[in-house]
Structure 1
Amino acid sequence: MLDKFFEDGDWFAPKRFGYGAGLPITWQGWAVSALYIGVVIGLATLAESRRDIGPMLALPGIAIATIIFAVVAYRRTRGGWRWRWGNRD
């Protein structure tokens, strides 16, 4: 199963306008997006339930998860990340 997950190919479509990635275009992109959302929700729940130490764990955890997600999206976006002007590209 893991060999299918790490197949070559693009997982995200490029944004039509602006810089960055758009929506996922493969199941791997959707899985990574769902995992990221789950991690953020889990860490936010931890921060809310454990007000003594939760925020100190959640904030760096969310920052690290966001950086990892952005790197994956950057490497797996069709055509790479660059500024796009819609139909002129």
Structure 2
Amino acid sequence: MENVHRYWFRAKRYGWGWGLPLTWEGWVSLVVFVGLIVADIVVFARHTAAVPFIISVVVLGGLFTAVCWLKGEPAHWRWGGE
């Protein structure tokens, strides 16, 4: 039976947050996030619209953080070790 609670992202060893993805789903979500940021750069660079660009990056960052929060290992401060 497949593990239902399989994490997409491993918690960082030091500090708070998540590291590189563990599964293909995590890698896809990371690639989509980076692709959307690059698309923002391309779209907003033509218009020199700083405020919409910043709002878009903040929203995308928040959405990606939500994915990490829901699909990653529980977040708490780590000092290294196991």
TM-score over 0.5 for the alignment? yes
Aligned Cα root-mean-square deviation (Å): 1.5
Distance 1:43 1:16 in 2: 31
Q: Secondary structure at the match of 2:10?
A: strand
Letter in 1 for 2:70: R
2:77 to 66, 83, 86: 83
* CA displacement 1:42-85 (0-9 Å, x = unmatched): 0011111122xx4343221111110000011011112x000011
The count of residues paired between Structure 1 and Structure 2 equals 79
For residues 14 and 66 of structure 1, the distance between their equivalents in structure 2, rounded to whole angstroms, comes to 17
The residue that corresponds to 1:13 in the other structure is 10
Query: Which of 61, 64, 67 matches 2:62?
Result: 67
Name the structure, 1 or 2, with higher relative contact order (CA <8 Å, separation 6+): 2
Classify the secondary structure of the residue corresponding to 1:81: coil
Q: Which residue number corresponds to residue 40 of structure 1?
A: 37
Residue 19 (structure 2) aligns with: 22
Offset at 1:8? 4.9
Partner of 2:46: 49
State the percentage of identical aligned residues: 25
Which whole-Å CA distance do the structure 2 matches of 1:41 and 1:15 have between them? Answer: 25
- In structure 1, runs of 5+ residues without a counterpart are 1-6
Structure 2 alignment gaps of length 5 or more: none
